[in-house]
């Protein structure tokens, strides 16, 4: 097996949405038998939460659904040079995607596809404003907001896995 496919999830501060997506995707890739073929990490657009652990409400939501707690997570800001080392960068909102595209202009390495996370959700709205695909920030909101966030992350996770499987097939086939 060659180099693994690298996937990054990105939100604002890297303590709620993107680490939740990271944990869910790791579990889905593992369940698909792709744990060694795919590496998933997460970052934030901002450095405001740098070094902080996953939000306690996000942790509780993950654990309640049987996922690992993400206790090893520490928030990190995405750097331009990291984008060139990812095959797929999944933004939680259209604003994050625009910021990532601007950031990608500051690297000489060609970044992988930058997309909205929910673009890969087959049940997500199609043809409307980009904001309909945003995963709303649950930070400082009631636990129910974290449940909705996790619902959206889980709904798109199989689409992300399918996209990466196709990407792996193209890489393996030389395409």
Domain assignment present for 138: yes
The residues that are catalytic are 11, 17, 137
140 — alpha (psi -120 to 50), left (phi > 0) or beta?
A: left
The number of folded domains in the chain is 1
CA 120 to the chain's CA centroid: 11
Domain assignment present for 137: yes
- Residue 13: the pLDDT is 98
CA 171, CA 174: separation in Å to the nearest integer? 5
CATH number for position 9:
3.40.50.2300
Q: What is the pLDDT along the chain (175 residues), one digit of tens a residue?
A: 578 999 999 999 999 999 999 999 999 999 999 999 999 999 999 999 999 999 999 999 999 999 999 999 999 999 999 999 999 999 999 999 999 999 999 887 777 899 999 999 988 888 766 778 999 999 999 999 999 999 999 999 999 999 999 999 986 544 4
**This prediction's pTM:** 0.93
Domain assignment present for 105: yes
Domain that holds residue 24: 5-169
């Amino acid at each position: 097996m060659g180099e693994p496919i690298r996937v990054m999830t990105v939100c604002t501060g890297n303590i709620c949405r993107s680490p939740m997506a990271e944990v869910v995707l790791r579990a889905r890739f593992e369940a698909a038998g792709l744990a060694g073929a795919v590496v998933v990490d997460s970052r934030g657009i901002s450095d405001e939460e740098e070094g902080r652990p996953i939000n306690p409400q996000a942790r509780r939501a993950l654990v309640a659904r049987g996922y690992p707690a993400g206790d090893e997570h520490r928030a990190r800001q995405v750097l331009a040079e990291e984008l060139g080392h990812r095959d797929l960068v999944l933004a939680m909102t259209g604003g994050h995607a625009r910021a990532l595209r601007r950031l990608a202009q500051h690297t000489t390495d060609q970044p992988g596809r930058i997309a909205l996370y929910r673009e890969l959700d087959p049940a997500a709205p199609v043809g409307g404003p980009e904001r309909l695909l945003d995963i709303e920030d649950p930070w400082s909101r009631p636990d129910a907001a974290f449940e909705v966030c996790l619902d959206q992350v889980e709904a798109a996770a199989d689409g992300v896995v399918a996209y990466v499987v196709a990407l792996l097939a193209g890489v393996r086939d030389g395409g």
